Amino acid sequence: MEPRRMYVDGKWVEAVSGGVRTVYNPASGEPLATVADGDALDADRAVRAARRAFDEPGWSDRPAAERARLLFKLADLIEEQAEGLARLDTLNCGKPIREARYDAADAAGCCRYYAGLVTKPLGQTYAVPDGSVAMVVREPIGVAAQIIPWNYPLLMAAWKLAPALAAGNTCVLKPSEHTPLSALRLAELIEEVGFPPGVVNIVLGDGPRLGAPLAAHPQLDKVAFTGGTATGRSIMKAAAEGIKKVSLELGGKSPNIVFADCDLEPTVEYAMFGIFAGSGQVCSAGSRLLLEESIADRFLDRLVARSSRIKLGPGLNEDTEMGPLITPQHWNRVDGYVRWGLEEGADLVLGGQRPDDPALAGGNFYAPTIFARTRSDMKVVQEEIFGPVLVVQTFKDEDEAVRLANDTVYGLAGAVQTTDLAKAHRVIRRLRAGITWINTYHPTYNEAPWGGYKQSGIGRELGTFGLEAYTEIKQININMTPGPLGWYAG
């Protein structure tokens, strides 16, 4: 089978080096496809194409309504091709098909949201003295490098591309080397829509050989990254050399606080969905469960009983509730944290190993895992595991719940489960986190901002904030009564 190529300057091209790599189905370990494998030369080629497309008359000069028309058309094509796109993501990253279908629908919705938003008012005018008029307009930043992870391949591409293109920027998108297939299919749809050459470029390769030189390229104006905090630090350093704009959506160790007055059965399911959706490979996962002492034993018993019945399997099986981890290497990383948890004295009450089903032996499956009686000084409580591993702590009152919840370097997400809405609001306001929920976990909306506090990132995606993140602010001052200034005597 011919290797799948990158999309650069409106053309399908091989890596400059001729390099290729194989991508695998994490549910079976079987090869899925061979794709181009790029490096710094490919990053340079793509950035130069995007630079030309932005600087020459054309894309950035197009009226907002024209950019919106193309995004609306792209949304329609994503919707028409939703089942195929969902199957690609399921095969490539392992998530259950029903999750991938939500992602495809959300990707189309994201394109539509920004297509509609960009034609709405984006500036301001001011009443100023001296017979002048002052105004502020928003203009595109320029060329944006966008580096996305493997857990939401199609949706993250839409989150990055839609606001950037709506604002008039040109883009170089790098999907994860593990999950490039839906991004390549998206490039085919972008080509079909008729975006001009160089406006969208999709390059393939790993972080060290391609992502790092891409982020450091001197002709970039912005770098947007979603992924691990350590890589985010490296991108900040690379961007600092050229004082590039940076958006970072990084890791999390998010608390899910459960009070004794919660509605028990729905809350148990929220806790399960918070950690086991996406096999726990979600930056905003509710990976720390904080239980009020008076219900801790009863709640944990019910949680373990229900979690033990989660159906693991290949994502294309309609009854699968949890899929595999992304790679064997990541499986080993997650299992290593479980071993650390045992060494630290945490009580393993569920999972902690490969599932027993021999039909799953060829994939990267890890059983739903729960640690009870954990402490804040444990590695499994403080560090992002990025797998289906839940750590449970208990608290006596609101103050202790908040203290435990905020006892982390991260601040991406958090939730409160209680039927007392006044208490819910008190606690939510005290959480140092950017995305929060009351009596639910995980729903996201294109209309609302996404991002975190502390080491969980810089800036926000989605909503009006996501569009503003791809714009520069220009002040324009107009003298309405031009004439001599009278400042100089000569």
Convert the pLDDT of each residue in 456-471 to its tens digit. 999 999 999 999 999 9
pLDDT at residue 61 in the model: 87
Give the mean pLDDT of 368-389.
98
Give the mean pLDDT of 179-190.
98
pLDDT at residue 131 in the model: 81
Share of the chain above pLDDT 90, in %: 93
What value does the mean pLDDT of the chain take?
Answer: 96
Q: Are 303 and 268 in contact (CB under 8 A)?
A: yes
The reply to whether 249 belongs to the active site is yes
Give the mean pLDDT of 36-57.
97
Q: Of residues 99, 177, 249, 321, which has the active-site annotation?
A: 249
pLDDT at 350 over 80: yes
Q: Work out the number of other CB atoms within 10 angstroms of the CB of residue 336.
A: 12
The reply to whether 110 belongs to the active site is no
pLDDT at residue 405 in the model: 98
pLDDT category at 130 given cuts 50, 70, 90 is confident
The backbone torsions φ and ψ at residue 487, rounded to the nearest 5 degrees and listed phi first, read: -80, -35
Q: Of residues 110, 283, 292, 461, which has the active-site annotation?
A: 283
Q: Which of 141, 183, 191 is nearest to 158 (CA)?
A: 183
pLDDT category at 397 given cuts 50, 70, 90 is very high
Q: Which of 438, 411, 434, 433 is nearest to 423 (CA)?
A: 438
pLDDT at residue 323 in the model: 98
Give the mean pLDDT of 356-366.
96
pLDDT at 258 over 80: yes
pLDDT category at 1 given cuts 50, 70, 90 is low
Convert the pLDDT of each residue in 298-332 to its tens digit: 999 999 999 999 999 999 999 999 999 999 999 99
pLDDT at residue 2 in the model: 78
Convert the pLDDT of each residue in 402-417 to its tens digit: 999 999 999 999 999 9
pLDDT at residue 166 in the model: 97
Q: Are 189 and 219 in contact (CB under 8 A)?
A: no
Give the mean pLDDT of 327-345.
98
Which of 1-5, 156-160, 343-347, 431-435 bottoms out in mean pLDDT, i.e. has the lowest?
A: 1-5
Q: Are 148 and 228 in contact (CB under 8 A)?
A: no
Residue type, 351: G
